[in-house]
A and B are shown apart, each in its own frame.
Chain A
């Protein structure tokens, strides 16, 4: 079948799945007084529409920051303002519209997500699949990326606008892959100004661009490139923050809202190191807040150092993709005040690895969706979760022939094995971890845990048993895959001598 018709069919299918999920319930539906993220977005539209700019981030009589105060950078605020202008003013009336829930309003909000997705995220995926992925699998990769359940369920179910920030970041990656460094950095800065969590991706972008500048020679073109990029970044930041630049107090307050360091190491149950460690040692109570901060900062830096240095030394697209995964996953696992939704940040670059490392990528993506199960259960999204996960698993495993790409060579572990075989013979078995049987076992365990979370009631002494089990189980997966992706990135030789390494940039 012709290309365009297959692509359109994939897009239509993806859109149908998205809208179908959006017919379900959203976060905080019918739960006064605070409701949920849906109400937060509506409230931001209310605040930005009715109040002047310099009051948006401040605690005033009209703007109570305790009730879903704005805690994303200015682009989110501008987006909310735009949405607020498009709708019925009753829905954003100051104070009076708090907790407003109606059929028409839900349709409108869902439609805004769909439009943003269609305009930003989906074109980026199209460009990536057809210009930057290799082999004959382009359309299959495209469909699989579109069907990633985590993003669909969070954006169209729980209700957020991750497709905008992730889409802009993806645009950054695609544009950089095509060789336009300045535009790529522009896209990424915009993405950063939409959600500050994109900082998880910032180090790889920085190292990649710096590495490219070094490669082009710091005395000539490299320096010129560096200056161009720096100027672009600064100018874009200035433009985004323009209304706030007049007063340093404004800037400080916004930064204070974006990075709430007073909130502790973690909240709720997250699949990261600190929460899992908390099961064995109650670190939240043992260490003081400052110690916790420094501890997490140090471990995060240690975790991302190897990957970033390697990227600096070898700035190719392949290294860049791996570094994105490693950096964001390391941040997720070791950083301060991480929310479970932040798993989407490593998930995006892993989607980009679907073509090259299908089985580990699918495994990670499924684990990421699974790790958010307690959130979905709270929002009443059980059926969409089950259906989209099953659909994603079947499609990706079948279309990408994941089980045929399990050999050591295909998993890019060849160099690692050679490196280690002289040191310690025993640890060679690690490369055999990623195979079909382990995968099936893992999926069955996830299915079992999901079923138990739904069907059984937890014992009275341990009311959080199932969310805890889910997060610890996911954590183990993430840790293992972090190790794997780091090995793949670092073990790759600096000079591409092998003939099947066509990726150079």
Chain B
């Protein structure tokens, strides 16, 4: 009965999903429906009539293909590739319905996650149960609502598969979890970022059936059967997805579509990560340098940092950052976490923590990261947040700043009340429910001040700034301020999460001594 209420709430939220008709993602998916339906398979990754080329792995293309068979009953015209920016009411209705229907996967995944949550004994009313709080935090997650129903993506569906995979691992059904993750990877390759966590965890905790008494690897317990099972899952799903393209010799083309490194370091709206801070420092130094007459204005490169589809970027003072550098930084940032679950595995929960760290690390240091990627860390972290007090504190910090950084995605005046109301709803709920669950305040005064500062930033960006004279001379200032302010919060959460992970590792080591 709880899930019924949640279903209805989800449905209720879709009442304003009528607004994604102006989002470019709507056109992206319509285009992909058209491509997969009207063209033969060999042309899918070569087609470029529209600027929104197919840049997800083939399994997603097959998914769009199956959707297109339903779409033709709604409006045949949307499946014509040449009909760019085609938005008939039937098209909008179909797209909207497809998101709602695929969200069922997400609801099922949430139900499974709630089943795996550890519960304390004791009488609690319904609202105080950890599993209810978790269900609420996941189903009413502000970021997911904004991104999926207003911006139109299939993130509910994809995150549903991710959460289901995590739930299966928490329940000990590792093969199913591995299968789900491989499917996910073939649906959207951004999940490569958390593949190391899966890989090392499965290798260490699944392929080696027993540990030594001190927790280290017992090489003799290696089970080739399990390794072969895992391998066959990965290969068979990969074959299903990439097979036809490898057979046609199109693999390089597909890969070039999937990994377009020509895009800039930062997305058009800067994700609140390390590179946003880096850019900001660079800009500040260059402005300072010009003021102090240390630099010549004419010699500074004029490229903008936001790129989009095209440019590379040149920093003025600090060294430029290339894709390989970001990759190295990301790998370095997740290395300690991954090593920790190799040396001292702590079961599925240790894996989940490592997964969150990998997701967050890749968000912090990745190339052309979109703000939406913060959800890849927030959603799995919710499971840990309802089980431990310290995690709840980090969760509140991360979620509030992460969600606030999504505000620039909705920039019209009509959407302002919606995003403010939803943000208030979610923040109020998460704070009060977690506070009640863990009986006491979860944040120290400094953190609380920082979060209250978000209100000031919001007022600055939405009210003060449009009325000030700088709106025309420095139009990017609200985005800059939002990104930089949020990246402080996100970095802080990242560091705290790492500290908690390594501290657990340390206490384990201590126990052995």
A residues apposed to B, CB below 8 Å: 1-2, 5, 8-9, 12-13, 15-17, 19-21, 23-24, 103-104, 107, 114, 383-384, 387-388, 390-391, 394-395, 398
Q: With contacts A9-B425, A16-B422 known, is A23 near B16, CB below 8 A? A: yes
B residues apposed to A, CB below 8 Å: 1, 4-5, 8-9, 11-16, 18-19, 127-128, 413-414, 417-418, 421-422, 424-425, 428-429, 432-433, 436
Per the bound structure, the CA–CA distance linking A388 and B11 in Å amounts to 9
Instruction: Contact check, A21 vs B15: say whether CB atoms are below 8 A apart.
Output: yes
Per the bound structure, the CA–CA distance linking A294 and B5 in Å amounts to 50
Q: With contacts A23-B16, A23-B414 known, is A390 near B8, CB below 8 A? A: yes
A-B contact pairs, 13 of them (CB 8 A): A1-B436, A2-B436, A9-B428, A12-B428, A13-B425, A23-B19, A23-B414, A114-B417, A387-B11, A387-B14, A388-B12, A391-B11, A398-B5
Instruction: Contact check, A391 vs B436: say whether CB atoms are below 8 A apart.
Output: no
Interface core residue of B13, B19, B414 (most chain A CB under 10 Å): B414
B87 to chain A, nearest CB (A): 16
Instruction: Contact check, B14 vs A1: say whether CB atoms are below 8 A apart.
Output: no
The dominant DSSP class at the B interface is helix
Interface core residue of B18, B417, B436 (most chain A CB under 10 Å): B417
Out of A5, A8, A19, A390, name the residue touching B417 (CB < 8 Å): A19
Q: With contacts A5-B428, A390-B8, A394-B5 known, is A383 near B128, CB below 8 A? A: no
Interface contacts beyond A2-B432, A114-B417: sample of 15 additional A-B pairs, CB < 8 Å, sorted by A = A5-B428, A5-B429, A5-B432, A12-B421, A12-B428, A16-B421, A19-B417, A20-B13, A23-B18, A23-B19, A107-B414, A387-B15, A390-B11, A390-B12, A398-B4
The number of A-B residue pairs with CB atoms under 8 Å apart is: 72
Instruction: Contact check, A17 vs B4: say whether CB atoms are below 8 A apart.
Output: no
Task: Using CB atoms, name the residue of chain B closest to A15.
Answer: B421
Residues in A with CB closer than 8 Å to B12 are 17, 387-388, 390-391
Instruction: Contact check, B428 vs A394: say whether CB atoms are below 8 A apart.
Output: no
Instruction: Contact check, B8 vs A394: say whether CB atoms are below 8 A apart.
Output: yes
Instruction: Contact check, B127 vs A20: say whether CB atoms are below 8 A apart.
Output: no
Residues in B with CB closer than 8 Å to A9 are 425, 428-429
Instruction: Contact check, B1 vs A398: say whether CB atoms are below 8 A apart.
Output: yes
A17 to chain B, nearest CB (A): 7
Residues in A with CB closer than 8 Å to B16 are 19-20, 23
Residues in B with CB closer than 8 Å to A107 are 413-414
Task: Using CB atoms, name the residue of chain A closest to B422.
Answer: A16
A5 to chain B, nearest CB (A): 4
Instruction: Contact check, A383 vs B15: say whether CB atoms are below 8 A apart.
Output: yes
The dominant DSSP class at the A interface is helix
Per the bound structure, the CA–CA distance linking A208 and B428 in Å amounts to 42
Task: Using CB atoms, name the residue of chain B closest to A387.
Answer: B15
Nearest first, the 8 closest Cβ-Cβ pairs linking A and B are A20-B16, A5-B432, A387-B15, A394-B8, A391-B12, A16-B421, A12-B425, A19-B417
Residues in A with CB closer than 8 Å to B425 are 9, 12-13, 16
B57 to chain A, nearest CB (A): 33
Residues in B with CB closer than 8 Å to A383 are 15, 18
Residues in A with CB closer than 8 Å to B19 are 23
B240 to chain A, nearest CB (A): 37
Residues in B with CB closer than 8 Å to A114 are 417
B389 to chain A, nearest CB (A): 18
Residues in B with CB closer than 8 Å to A23 are 16, 18-19, 414, 418
Q: With contacts A15-B421, A16-B422, A395-B5 known, is A1 near B428, CB below 8 A? A: no
Per the bound structure, the CA–CA distance linking A433 and B161 in Å amounts to 47
Per the bound structure, the CA–CA distance linking A13 and B12 in Å amounts to 10
A86 to chain B, nearest CB (A): 16
B110 to chain A, nearest CB (A): 18
Residues in A with CB closer than 8 Å to B413 are 103-104, 107
Task: Using CB atoms, name the residue of chain A closest to B423.
Answer: A12
B351 to chain A, nearest CB (A): 32
Task: Using CB atoms, name the residue of chain B closest to A5.
Answer: B432
A160 to chain B, nearest CB (A): 19
Instruction: Contact check, A20 vs B424: say whether CB atoms are below 8 A apart.
Output: no
Per the bound structure, the CA–CA distance linking A12 and B419 in Å amounts to 11
Out of B128, B422, B428, B433, name the residue touching A8 (CB < 8 Å): B428
B432 to chain A, nearest CB (A): 4
A390 to chain B, nearest CB (A): 6
Out of A1, A2, A15, A388, name the residue touching B15 (CB < 8 Å): A388
Per the bound structure, the CA–CA distance linking A383 and B12 in Å amounts to 10
Interface core residue of B15, B19, B421, B422 (most chain A CB under 10 Å): B15
Per the bound structure, the CA–CA distance linking A1 and B129 in Å amounts to 11
Per the bound structure, the CA–CA distance linking A21 and B16 in Å amounts to 7
A156 to chain B, nearest CB (A): 11
Residues in A with CB closer than 8 Å to B14 are 387
Residues in B with CB closer than 8 Å to A384 are 15
Instruction: Contact check, B432 vs A19: say whether CB atoms are below 8 A apart.
Output: no
Per the bound structure, the CA–CA distance linking A5 and B5 in Å amounts to 20
A4 to chain B, nearest CB (A): 9
A283 to chain B, nearest CB (A): 40
Per the bound structure, the CA–CA distance linking A394 and B428 in Å amounts to 24
